[in-house]
Amino acid sequence: MQIFNRKAALMDYLTSKKTTNSSIGFVPTMGALHKGHQSLMIQSVNENDITVVSIFVNPTQFNNPEDLEKYPRDLDADILKIQDISPNIILFAPTVEDIYEGKIISQSFDFDGLENKMEGKFRPGHFDGVGTIVKRLFEIVNPTKAYFGEKDFQQVQIVKKMVEKNHLPVTIVVCPIYREINNLAMSSRNERLTLQQKEEAGVIYKILNGAKAKFVNNSAKKTAEWVTNEFEKNKNFTLEYFEIADEETLSTCTRKVKNKKYRAFIAVFINNVRLIDTISLN
């Protein structure tokens, strides 16, 4: 497997490999890979001539230094998981210095307000960090298609907006959420949960699914009240937010409008591990 730690070497290699018609699929990750990441890699390998996976724990998207410090990292295990999918995948695992060249700061973006809701409200600066790194990685890899998981639905909308506003020649492919047997959405952060907490965390999806059923005959407000109540019964969990929003604009649903697509979004703490999940309500 080809592994690059420097952007210049990766760019030279891709230039030498790429012919006029060849396509590059790109899967950006922060490592601690799981089956969800592997499903993105499989799709990229099936759809492109070349697949590049990046592993980079991006400091500018963490608003909480403890979260950055505790973010799980295991490059050797990740390499094996990538090789399991295909030894032809190219891995880019750069250093912070290679990416930020001594200036670990985010670019400021205008995502037409998408950045101020939910994750953006509770994690100030997060989406400027995401926009900065994804744009930089796109400039290095120059992908034809880039693959993102639906679990980070708001991130996907932000990346799409960034691509549109900067006229970047890349197609964003959104892949379904991969879940554990108890329906806990797969996430690198799950590694920080004990087995028992992982088991209990299945309740997040159960409540989301319950909210979907409630929303059929109830307002967004009533549905949110029900969700808050359910979490109050589960003392090991602290609900940070539950929100029903328009899928496209991410504006809060205050009154249901026929034919609009709605989605529920949730962020929950188990001890100090923060998990997010989402479900389509249509």
Judged by the rule CB under 6 A, the positions of this chain that interact with ligand PAF are 28-30, 58, 61, 130, 133-134, 152, 155
Q: What does each C-alpha distance from 174 to 43, 120, 154, 199, 281 come to in angstroms?
A: 10, 20, 12, 27, 17
**Alpha-carbon distance 149 to 274, whole Å?**
17
**Alpha-carbon distance 53 to 91, whole Å?**
5
What is the chain's Cα-based Rg? 19
Q: Which amino acid type is present at position 86?
A: S
Nearer to ligand PAF, 40 or 264 (CB): 40
Which residue in the list 34, 37, 126, 167 is annotated as catalytic?
Answer: 37
103 in Cβ contact with 79 (< 8 Å)? no
- Cβ 59 to ligand PAF, closest distance in Å? 10
- Cβ 226 to ligand PAF, closest distance in Å? 30
Both tokens of 227, joined, read 């969700």
Nearer to ligand PAF, 30 or 186 (CB): 30
**Alpha-carbon distance 211 to 6, whole Å?**
46
**Alpha-carbon distance 275 to 270, whole Å?**
8
- Cβ 216 to ligand PAF, closest distance in Å? 31
SS3 278: strand
SS3 174: strand
Nearer to ligand PAF, 158 or 245 (CB): 158
**167 catalytic per annotation:** no
- Cβ 68 to ligand PAF, closest distance in Å? 12
Nearer to ligand PAF, 123 or 263 (CB): 123
- Cβ 54 to ligand PAF, closest distance in Å? 7
Nearer to ligand PAF, 30 or 118 (CB): 30
**Alpha-carbon distance 261 to 244, whole Å?**
10
Q: Which residues are catalytic?
A: 37
